[in-house]
Amino acid sequence: MQAFILLSADGKRHLVPQADGAVTVDGLGVVDPAKLESRVGSVAKIAGKPFLVLLPSVRDRMETAARKAQTIGAKDAAAILLNCDVNAGDVVIEAGAGSGALTMLLAQAVFFRLVDDGTLVRIKDDLYLHREHVERAKGMLLTHLKAHGSIGVPTFKDLLGVSRKYAIPFLEYFDQVRITRRHGDERLPYR
């Protein structure tokens, strides 16, 4: 289960935290995150009022975190990074006091840097893998295609030792980047 943002008509944001069951959200009452999962990007009625259901950004998580003396806001985090001269490759250790906002900001910055420089490859919306793993899978796939001419999901799954959950997005990625093309239930070499 993941967290959601409920955006009211007047622009107020309410964070619905990750939970396996219903949770109490300040100003709204009891909300079940499971019922919001299929509503992302659309309007849902909560306590009789319409709310746009969104996935939370790092800024949303920071701004809706319980405010305590140690909470670092977006402006503070930017100033800390600038004043400490934090650069790519630097090691940053956070003591863990407060809401963890600085850690979230740093983690997101590192993540996007790894995507931008090609270290992480986007396989689908929420699945990123290290490029070495993608290249290894590509090599195994091409070797199999050269020997057998085609490959199906069950064979590819066994070849990589992964579940269907990962095998299918991998094959769809290879279709997208024109390594393979789908023909019925099989994948063929693109050319």
The CATH class of the 4-56 domain is alpha beta
pLDDT tens digits, 18-71: 888 888 888 888 988 888 888 889 999 988 899 999 988 877 777 766 655 556
Same CATH fold assignment for domains 4-56 and 124-189: no
The residues spanned by each domain of the chain are: 4-56, 63-116, 124-189
- Mean of the pLDDT values across residues 164-178? 94
What local confidence, expressed as pLDDT, does residue 136 receive? 94
| Between 61 and 184, the higher pLDDT residue | 184
Mean pLDDT throughout 91-112? 72
pLDDT tens digit sequence for 121-162 = 999 888 899 999 999 999 999 999 999 999 999 999 999 999
Q: Which two tokens stand for residue 184?
A: 């019925």
Label residue 73 by pLDDT band (50, 70, 90).
Answer: low
What pLDDT score was predicted for residue 74?
66
User: What is the third-level CATH fold of 124-189?
Assistant: Arc Repressor Mutant, subunit A (1.10.10)
pTM, entire model: 0.54
Contact yes or no for 5/41 (Cβ under 8 A): no
